[in-house]
Amino acid sequence: MVVGLVETAVPAAKSTVSSAVKKPTTLSSDPIINVARGDPTIYEPYWKKMGDRCKVVIAGDEFMSYFYNAMNLCWFLLPELDNAIRTLHRVVGNAMVDDDKFIVVGNGSTQLFHALLYALSSPDMPEPINVVAAAPFYSVSIQLQPLQSYPEETKFLRSELYKWAGDANCYDRDEPYIEVVTSPNNPDGSIRGTVENREGGKAIHDVAYYWPQYAPITSKADHDAMLFTFSKATGHAGTRIGWAIVKDKVIAAKMVKFIEVSSIGVSREAQLRAAKVLGFIADDCRNPDVKGENFFEYGRRLMSERWGKLREVGMKSNGVFSLPKYPRDYCKFTGEYTDSNPAFAWLKSKEGLNCENLLRDESKIISRGGPSFGVDSTYTRVSMLSRDVEFELLLERLAAVKGTVNGN
Amino acid sequence: MVVGLVETAVPAAKSTVSSAVKKPTTLSSDPIINVARGDPTIYEPYWKKMGDRCKVVIAGDEFMSYFYNAMNLCWFLLPELDNAIRTLHRVVGNAMVDDDKFIVVGNGSTQLFHALLYALSSPDMPEPINVVAAAPFYSVSIQLQPLQSYPEETKFLRSELYKWAGDANCYDRDEPYIEVVTSPNNPDGSIRGTVENREGGKAIHDVAYYWPQYAPITSKADHDAMLFTFSKATGHAGTRIGWAIVKDKVIAAKMVKFIEVSSIGVSREAQLRAAKVLGFIADDCRNPDVKGENFFEYGRRLMSERWGKLREVGMKSNGVFSLPKYPRDYCKFTGEYTDSNPAFAWLKSKEGLNCENLLRDESKIISRGGPSFGVDSTYTRVSMLSRDVEFELLLERLAAVKGTVNGN
């Protein structure tokens, strides 16, 4: 099992995740590159440069109580974080955050996804509610085993409240359902709406990647229940903070109850840090005198450069693999027409080839194949958010793929 | 709904949790005192006094990655926290933490309880496994509604993996079971072992209160799966850090998987802070030159003083209510015979009286009645961990209870 950045050995039956930046290696030194997961370490240099401006200091006697947001429905939400979230969405223009919307904070958007499944289902229904998503759908590799994905998360506790019911495109039962919509989509970066639109249908909108570095901001997202996460917005994956923007008070209250019973709220320290960083970005974006790029300008430039390089490699691959094309669109945040630069590249190999195996066997690149996302094995997903050293090595390797080895 | 410290108004249908220290009030000003929950704010003055010695500083570019403990089974456990937990248990002598034991960190011990239920059950079993606990059993009031308790937590997601099966004393089915043992017990402070001891039976040992300020440390706890929590050990409830000490590698690995799928790990900021505070206490306890009391000496003195005052009030109550008696025992940590000073007082009123209603109607004290813990209504639970101002008011009120009003 290998989940390090660039591993030269493969310890058996042991978790070997690692975030250390190792010495750059070349193709000839034969290391494994793992880009199956979306660890957003790409933004580290930016935050290093910001230095003390985003530092948080917490004294020994702070945050002792369970309780601290007396008048809020989400009683464990730090008011500073509530404020920073709303301010940043207003500055970026990517989500409606009117005062009548409820913000629910969670231990990452993962916990909020579970909370929403709970809130949208009901113990009074005779059958578990069906959960669907249009393929290809979200799937995250942690420790190389496909532990996380919408199917996995839905099935995990064998709840009688809800059950995974597969690809939304194939769903034809006349039963209640929840559709999970990820837009921009993970893995393929497409902009999506619901596939099912029947009366009484419910939806969870995962808009984790709807930020200017990944996609043009064309309008304010305004769905019943939307999920965002600190990790994809700014790169702070270790902080475990996500937030939901919810229209209906009853749904928001059920989510709060879920998080109470699961973990009695969310670490105050993590919330304080998220508030600091999100507030910092919002201030920078609003300040015309800021020196250098703001966070989103930086992120968009970086992602755009990476996508340019990857497309170049793709074009030279003689059709061994290809990449999706995205329409340019007018981004209201930047005030110009911009490209989509998704957090993942969704590679498709020539027919008859297994793309995941191809990359693994020819180039020691660990990616995550189509079947994990509900589609065929000519597809595979590669993270675009790794550190520079790893990304450059990835390009070097991909450029050398010939499409001759293929353990199907 | 009232969950503030001392509330003078009762807003309708709204969560009104509050941690603010309000101006001391007297009986005549007619406020409600809520001691139904166990918010451990008693320790705030100690940590205030420690000032910068327990401060943590986190730079903007720290903890960006999901991954950081490469060689550990619990890949999201901060090595500093692992080290601080083991060191403190060795110093206090309250739990076996040999190197072959696994530490799993969670978003509070609540998440770890769920993780253990998952780890000890199996999708391959024909029926959900029975979960039992000897009454009176754990039950925590959050927002006054009994959202959390072992029965609630077990039933919450309607999992097909496990089901709540009631009081362990009455359990007579010849089926697999998990017994939850809390010792010292919440609510009644008793020292406990398993009630069921059949072959193949499994147990979860919640030892959250097995620290010198609450009970004599008579031996190192050494059960298969033990749960501790930062909130009860040091009073840092807002940090949401718990840990499990687990013997079996397979069980620990299943718990890690549960926490991955639930929340992709545990906030790094919270872990860093817990490591700092636990490490600080351990250092102080080991240093014979430390000025003043170490944390446990301070906590034990405070709890002992509070229990002394409460017993005095109880004795003067003419039998309207009584308190449990605990045997003195030799505490290996302090090196002397010490009393139990539980985090909750388990009040019993005269037969025929409903103790929770009695306190509410005569004295505007909100407590948590026996039925929430699986026993009769002559019992009620009162937190001993509130701030000084609230505790003094509680004593004043209890002293005035006559046992004449009682809405049964």
**Do residue A301 and residue A272 come from a single domain?**
no
- Domains held by chain B: number: 1
Higher pLDDT, B18 or B232: B232
Cβ-Cβ pairs closer than 8 A, A with B, add up to 281
Q: B201 lies in a domain?
A: yes
Give the pLDDT confidence score for residue A33 in this predicted structure: 92
Give the pLDDT confidence score for residue A290 in this predicted structure: 79
Cβ-contact A37, A18 below 8 angstroms? no
Q: B6 lies in a domain?
A: no
Instruction: Look up the ipTM and state it.
Output: 0.89
Boundary (domain end) residue, out of A263, A286, A309: A286
Cβ-contact A239, A58 below 8 angstroms? no
The CATH number that applies at residue A381 is 3.90.1150.10
Count how many Cα atoms sit within 13 Å of the Cα of residue B286 in the half-sphere of its side chain.
12
Boundary (domain end) residue, out of A266, A286, A306: A286
Q: Nearest CB to A54: which of B55, B60, B106?
A: B60
Distance from CA of A171 to the nearest CA of B (A): 25
Q: What is the pLDDT of residues B302-321, one digit of tens each?
A: 999 999 999 999 999 888 99
Identify all chain A residues contacting B161, using CB atoms and an 8 Å cutoff.
157-158
Note down the domain range covering A43.
6-47+295-399
Residues contacting residue B36 through CB under 8 Å, at least 6 positions apart: B3, B141, B144, B366, B367, B368, B381, B383
Boundary (domain end) residue, out of A286, A311, A327: A286
Tokens linked to A351: 């027919």
The CATH number that applies at residue A100 is 3.40.640.10
Mean pLDDT, contiguous 10-residue spans, chain A (408 residues): 28 33 47 90 95 93 85 93 98 96 96 93 85 82 39 66 87 91 95 89 96 98 98 96 98 95 94 98 90 93 98 91 95 96 96 93 94 93 96 95 69
Q: Where are the alpha helices (H) located in A249-377, listed in sequence order?
A: 249-263, 268-286, 295-315, 355-363
Q: A57 lies in a domain?
A: no
Cβ-contact B195, B131 below 8 angstroms? no
Average pLDDT over residues B187-194: 95
Band (B151; pLDDT cuts 50, 70, 90): low
Q: B92 lies in a domain?
A: yes
CB-count burial class (<10 Å; 0-12, 13-18, 19+) for B192 = middle
**Do residue A37 and residue A132 come from a single domain?**
no
- Enter the pTM of the model: 0.90
Cβ within 8 Å, pair A47-B64: yes
Chain B CB within 8 Å of residue A158 CB: yes
**Do residue A197 and residue A280 come from a single domain?**
yes
CB-count burial class (<10 Å; 0-12, 13-18, 19+) for B16 = buried
Q: B37 lies in a domain?
A: no
DSSP helix/strand/coil, B297: helix
**Do residue A265 and residue A175 come from a single domain?**
yes
Q: A408 lies in a domain?
A: no
Average pLDDT over residues B29-50: 90
Nearest CA in chain B to A11: B71
E strand or H helix that includes residue A125? none
Give the pLDDT confidence score for residue A3 in this predicted structure: 28
Chain A CB within 8 Å of residue B270 CB: yes
Q: Nearest CB to A161: which of B157, B231, B270?
A: B157
Produce one character per residue of A97-133: b if its CB has 16 or more CB atoms within 10 Å, e if not: beeebbbbbbbbbbbbbbbbbbbbbeeeeeebbbbbb
Q: A121 lies in a domain?
A: yes
Q: B103 lies in a domain?
A: yes
**Do residue A42 and residue A149 come from a single domain?**
no
Tokens linked to A43: 């933004």
Residues contacting residue B276 through CB under 8 Å, at least 6 positions apart: B54, B55, B56, B84
Give the pLDDT confidence score for residue B28 in this predicted structure: 45
Give the pLDDT confidence score for residue B56 in this predicted structure: 96
What CA–CA distance (Å, rounded) separates A365 from A352?
19
Whether omega before B327 lies within 30 degrees of 0, making that bond cis, reads no
DSSP helix/strand/coil, A188: coil
**Do residue A104 and residue A179 come from a single domain?**
yes
User: Does B144 have pLDDT greater than 70?
Assistant: no
Chain A CB within 8 Å of residue B205 CB: no
